[in-house]
Amino acid sequence: MTVFRLTRATTLSAEKAWRRVTDWRAHAARVPLTSVTGVVSGGAAAGPPSSGQRAAFTEGTVFTVRTGVGRVGVDDPMEVVCWTPPAAGRPGRCRLVKRGNVVKGWAEIEVLPTRAGPDAGCVVVWTEELSLRPLPRLLDPLVAQVGRVVFGRALDGALRSPAEDN
| pLDDT of res. 33 | 85
| pLDDT of res. 55 | 56
Q: How many other CB atoms sit within 10 Å of the CB of residue 71?
A: 5
| pLDDT of res. 14 | 92
Output Rg (C-alpha) for the chain, integer angstroms: 16
User: Are 40 and 61 within 8 A, CB to CB?
Assistant: yes
| pLDDT of res. 54 | 53
* Residue 144 binned pLDDT confidence (cut-offs 50, 70, 90): very high
- Phi/psi region, residue 106 (left: phi>0; alpha: psi -120 to 50; beta: rest), is beta
3-state secondary structure of 113: strand
Cα 98 to Cα 24: distance, rounded to the nearest angstrom: 14
Pairing of strands 92-99, 2-10: unpaired
Q: Which whole-number Å values give the CA distances from 104 to 1, 29, 129, in the listed order?
A: 8, 21, 8
* Residue 163 binned pLDDT confidence (cut-offs 50, 70, 90): low
List CB contacts of 24: < 8 A, sequence separation 6 or more: 36, 55, 57, 63, 65
* Residue 134 binned pLDDT confidence (cut-offs 50, 70, 90): confident
pLDDT of 38-96, one tens digit each? 777 654 444 444 434 455 578 888 989 898 888 898 999 999 999 999 988 899 999 99
The CB-side HSE value for 32 (13 A sphere, CA atoms) comes to: 2
pTM over 0.75: yes
Q: What are phi and psi of 136, to 5 degrees?
A: -75, 155
| pLDDT of res. 37 | 81
| pLDDT of res. 165 | 55
Containing 85, the helix (H) or strand (E) segment is none
| pLDDT of res. 48 | 45
Is pLDDT above 60 for 116? Answer: yes
Q: Tell how far CA 80 is from the center of its chain.
A: 10
3-state secondary structure of 45: strand
